Structure 1
Amino acid sequence: MAGDVLSQTEIDDLLSALSTGVVSAEDIQTEQKQKKIKVYDFKRPDKFSKDQIRTLYMLHENFARLLNTYLSTHLRTLVHIDVASVDQLTYEEFIRSLPNPSVISVFQMRPLKGNVILDINPNIVFSIIERLFGGSGQAPGKPRALTDIEEAITKRVISKALESFQEAWKQVVTIEPRLEVIETNPQFTQIVPPNDMVVIVTLQTKIGQTEGLINICIPYLVLEPIMSKLTTTFWVSSASTRQSLPEHINALQRKLERTFIPMIVELGGSTITVQELLGLTVGDVLQLDTKFEEDLLLRIGQREKFKCKPGLSGSKVAIQITEKLVEGDDNDE
């Protein structure tokens, strides 16, 4: 399993070997065509099923969309975020794959126990900071640790990102993410023992011309109490059930009650010829088909809903509703 994940140093050595000709692209293609044997350690079986991995993928697709919307609006630039992969591996393998320095945010998912890691590529972090400070969003050529001011700005952005994380996880469980600390050295970030299994959600991120990865590391111990809910069946059924909850219905009703609709009082109608219309001048009188003592028709939108009488309220023209008209499916209202 450890051979599946390369450290940053190993990646740099491989790229260097390709550029110097020590290793050719043809050799790599030949190796890929050979039969692959995947080592399986029965002492450390996979903790997450394919269905649970699929559910986590869909959850974080929603998180990627919410985060994309937030950053696009906040930074006023083109942002593109997609879920690249969802994998399970040991915590040690994940830590070994991170460069130094990194921007590693440790946060809690209350009421779930334990800590979770949000690792953001330094180029992405510096691009965000550069945009917030009024720059073009170009990341520095050489990664470095954050200053105190940059760390304060980063904490504020991450706290907002965790609100999107909370919204995405509502489909499965209600959580309250809370940022604990930001670390730069991966070796100083030990939230679980090295051999514990974790799930890694990788988001491919592009801000302007800067690209990088955002990794979310969730230990199995954190998700263990809700493993039964991490299924596509539960995820879909909970989403449909939530639509009929009383609080959801009340929220929709409150929004409808604040909607503006036109009210039109119809004084009456008259039919004339085009010649008569062309001959109208100031002072002419048109006779309507409504008698003076009859009620007028009040339309709500395009529907005839009430009858009313005209009058005055103070210095303004007003109407008084005298009758409610019921037609069609109005009995069901």
Structure 2
Amino acid sequence: EISEDELHQLIEAARTSRDAPIASAQESAQRAPISYDFRRPQQVNEDQARRMEGIHEPFARLIAATLSSNMRMVIDVDLAFCSQLVYSEFIVSLANPSSSYSFSMKPFAGQALMSLGNELVMAIIDRNMGGQGQVFSADARAPTQIEMNVINKLATRILTDLEATWEPVARIEITEVALETSPEFSQITAPSDGVFVVAFEANARTASGLVHLCYPLSSLDPLLPRLTPSYRDPDRERRRPTDVQ
């Protein structure tokens, strides 16, 4: 966090620079370099971040349909935010317990993570066990094996939705799915590595909860060129019918 003194210095610097003459190239070159926080790597540019948001907006609708079908009630799901941070910060932000599924996105290397918040998980379990889909304070616990069978089936459907979500960008196959209920044991990348997080908020009449997708930037790296406006998929270009002469 920035201190009050640092804030005043920034304001004063902004006022000074507004009235100061434009410096020469030589003067600019002699200035001290701008500091860079390597704990917060920004490897996804603005265009790519907007594309990631656009890709996952339909995913929110797919999750809503899947959850509504499973719980037999209307579930609204909205994309809450997209953010870049380091993996350790993301893990700390998750509730413990939560149902976190690591997975691979073939044919691309690396792993990603989908985390279902415990309030949402317990509401799903309650509904599937004949309840109203409510959450009770005593449910701040990891699900039992029988309860996990219910959630695992639902998670499989949601991950199938994720495959469809990526279809406009790349054909992926989600494999090697593994569950952890303690977030700190979900080691899909190094704690200091950068990640791109997409968060969704699910709301029902009786409960609400969060769904997170976490993509390590190393896993996204081969996909980043496809997230630029100028990208043209060579495979799709070859599949286009030839023009009639």
Aligned to 2:119: 123
Q: 1:140 — aligned with what?
A: 136
- Pairing 1:137-216 to 2, within 5 Å after superposition: 137-142=133-138, 143-178=140-175, 180-216=177-213
Pick aligned residue for 1:75 from 71, 74, 99 = 71
Query: Which one scores higher on RCO, CA 8 angstroms, separation ≥ 6?
Result: 2
- Root mean square deviation of aligned Cα: 2.5
Query: Quick one: which amino acid aligns to residue 63 of structure 2?
Result: L
Q: Output one character per residue of 1:227-252: Cα deviation in whole Å (capped at 9) or x when no partner.
A: 10012454xx76xx69x856xxxxxx
Structure number, greater radius of gyration: 1
Structure 1 residue 108 corresponds to structure 2 residue 122? no
Paired amino acid for 2:118: P
Count of matched residue pairs:
210
Residues 146/60 of structure 1: CA separation in 2 closer, same or farther (3 Å cut): same
Q: Distance in 2 between matches of 1:99 and 1:57?
A: 24
Q: Between the two proteins, what is the percent identity of the paired residues?
A: 33
In 1, the alpha carbon distance for the partners of 2:36 and 2:180 equals 32
SS of residue matched to 2:112: strand
Q: Deviations over 1:62-113 (max 9, x none)?
A: 1111111122123210100011111000001101111211211111111111
Q: Distance in 1 between matches of 2:65 and 2:115?
A: 19
1:82 counterpart SS class: strand
Residue in 1 that maps onto 2:14: none
TM-score (norm 2): 0.78
What secondary structure does 2:137 align onto? coil
More strand by share: 1
Residue deviations 1:250-298 (CA, integer Å, cap 9, x gap): xxxxxxxxxxxxxxxxxxxxxxxxxxxxxxxxxxxxxxxxxxxxxxxxx
Q: Tell me, yes or no, if structure 1 residue 41 matches structure 2 residue 36.
A: yes
Q: TM-score, normalised by structure 1?
A: 0.58
Matches within 5 A, 1:90-109: 90-109=86-105
Judge conservation of contact 1:127–1:207 (CA < 8 Å) in 2: no
**Contact 1:124–1:207 (CA<8 Å) still a contact in 2?**
no
Q: Can you give the 5+ residue segments of structure 2 that lack an aligned partner in the other structure? A: 11-33
Q: State the match for 1:267 in structure 2.
A: none
Amino acid at match of 1:219: P
Counterpart of 2:100, as a letter, is I
4+ runs deviating over 2 angstroms? 34-37, 39-45, 231-234
